[in-house]
Amino acid sequence: MCGIVGYIGNKNSVPILIEGLKRLEYRGYDSAGIGVINGKIGSFVKSKGKVSVLEEKSAADGIEAKIGIGHTRWATHGEPNEINAHPHFNEEKSLFLIHNGIIENYNVLKTGLKKLGYKFLSETDSEVLVHLIDSYMKKDHGLFQAVRLSLNQVEGTYGIAVISTKEPNKIIVAKKGSPLVIGIGDDENFIASDVNALIAHTSQVVYMEDDEIAEINADSFRAKSIHDKDIEKEIHDVEMNLDEITKGGYPHFMLKEIMEQPEAVRNSLRGRLLLDEGIARLGGLQGFADRLANSKRIIITACGTSWHAALVGEYMLEQFAGIPVEVEYASEFRYRNPIINKDDALLFISQSGETADTLAALKEAKRRGALVLGICNAVGSSIARESHAGVYTHAGPEIGVASTKAFTTQLSVLALITLLIARKKHVSIVDGKEIIKEMQQIPEKIEKILQMNDEIEKIAENFVDSTNFLYLGRGYNFPVALEGALKLKEISYIHAEGYPAAEMKHGPIALIDENMPVVFIAPTDSVYDKVISNIEEVKARKGIIIGIASENDNKIDSLVDYSIKIPDTIRMLMPILTVIPLQLLAYHVAVKKGLNVDQPRNLAKSVTVE
């Protein structure tokens, strides 16, 4: 969601802030702003809409400064407009603040501040915080101490950056539940809510932890807990380059990331398959693999696309590992007082590693003594740091809001974990080798499907004006139906629903007519004949059928209006292949509707607030 950037050094901060905000556009936002300090003079520019509008206004105002902070806002409290945009400021305009997160007790704080004479311009919870800090500065506290004391009164989540004309050589930052990272340069330092905003300038970063506050100068920084304890922070090297977060000649990040999936899956599997032993090697689970294998129950928790991957993981683990698996929405799991035992293992899946609900659920499970494992893509993310152990997907940066390679690499990692546990239990070395051989072929099979891009684009032309879609699958491919429907509605704004194919007769069949496109995921597997029967039922009611089928299947051609043939593999790996045509179909429909597929309306890449 919201994005934070900041700069302090010897350069003009404004173009650096604008560039950083552009790098964060993919996270989703509705307004933007920057605040800068030049000597004892503070200035700000805010705008509703895109960063490009902010850039034009900043250029027109001609502001320059060597210290500044910038923000992209995704509305939580108050509608999207310039007044509610960040930075917020005190009455004298000597103090500027940007904030990601939610101040839950803002009404109580606001009432107290009004009694002190403070007036509020915006509808946001964030403005409360800038006035609270100002109230402490009026009591002769320095900026660092004023921020720290204020945060001790706050209930909720925050990633903040604060600057003041009274102390114009520093930025104060603090974190609780919202990501924040410090970038280390030569006689200049940076801040951001996402490493992507920094990598054009530095490869060295410091990850802020919850309840930490830091003072950043041009040539140094110091950190404490908000309870006033000194903290030594470690500097990390970022293994990412600028090319990875550019489009590389593709018209959209989403298409680039769809096309990157063969390599992304290779990277997920690389060095982790031991063919001679028929087992997976996962260094991130070292010391915990036996405990995982001996768990009485595995609970997988996630949101959105990651939740769909978790559903596939449930099928994998129950079939091959023989362990009962439950899949939970993190947003529900954290609030319903779940029963968690110490012999349970919990897997938390998140592309960003910063998903607020998933992170909160992880902390609760950890508090209750369960084994807590993370599956995420972002190195150094909160989930990666909070977990007992875990596995990185190594998908590389994913900029498009609609997840594609995150999903297929999450499935790859879940397959690796399944193989590891299964071999520790009852699956033979022979069967383990067969699974590995199939896994090794998956990247090439994805490449073969991607070669059908033009064919899928032509199919998409027929559905630009559709208003509804139905996606149906069975077994391992039921979660793929959910994911296919999600992709279409996310970026094309066409209403779409995914169902188990057999459930069609329990309601959705009432919707079938000559205007209803129905996507069937029907590879040749153990439930193929059942799916064919479902196709017959739709055909009898004149539904428009798109079939995702095995390349050697000739039977289905006479039953469907459009068929997309894909290579075969074993059942547990089939979702990695069947989802690819659905990603391309959604992409091309949205593009042909003239929509912004990388930044769909109302959506954020990483949901870091509730």
Contact (Cβ atoms closer than 8 angstroms) between residue 326 and residue 353: no
Strands (E), 491-539: 495-500, 517-522
Q: Name the active-site residue from 22, 66, 170, 605.
A: 605
Contact (Cβ atoms closer than 8 angstroms) between residue 253 and residue 605: no
In the sheet that 212-216 helps form, which strands lie side by side, from edge to edge? 88-89, 95-100, 158-164, 167-176, 212-216, 221-225, 230-231
8-state DSSP, 262 = H
d(CA 137, CA 141): 5
Inter-CA distances, 392 with 328, 374, 444, 543, Å? 21, 8, 22, 42
Q: Name the active-site residue from 2, 50, 303, 445.
A: 2
The residues, ordered by sequence, that sit 6+ positions from 547 with a Cβ below 8 Å of its Cβ are: 519, 520, 522, 535, 556, 559, 560, 562, 563, 564
Inter-CA distances, 124 with 79, 136, 253, Å? 9, 20, 32
Contact (Cβ atoms closer than 8 angstroms) between residue 65 and residue 42: no
Rounded to the nearest angstrom, the gap between the alpha carbon of residue 420 and the centroid of all alpha carbons in its chain is: 26
Residue 75 exposure: Cα atoms within 13 Å on the Cβ side: 16
Contact (Cβ atoms closer than 8 angstroms) between residue 548 and residue 581: yes
d(CA 42, CA 63): 10
Question: Catalytic: 303?
Answer: no
- Phi then psi for residue 385, to 5 deg, are -80, -30
Q: 3-class SS at 491?
A: helix
Q: 3-class SS at 305?
A: helix
d(CA 467, CA 469): 7
In the sheet that 389-392 helps form, which strands lie side by side, from edge to edge? 325-329, 297-302, 344-350, 371-376, 389-392
Q: Is the peptide bond before 87 cis (omega within 30 degrees of 0)?
A: yes
The residues, ordered by sequence, that sit 6+ positions from 121 with a Cβ below 8 Å of its Cβ are: 83, 127
Contact (Cβ atoms closer than 8 angstroms) between residue 335 and residue 375: no
Q: 3-class SS at 74?
A: coil
Question: Catalytic: 376?
Answer: no
How far separated are the first and last CA of the chain, in Å rounded? 10
Amino acid at 42: G
d(CA 498, CA 566): 20
| Residues with active-site annotation | 2, 605
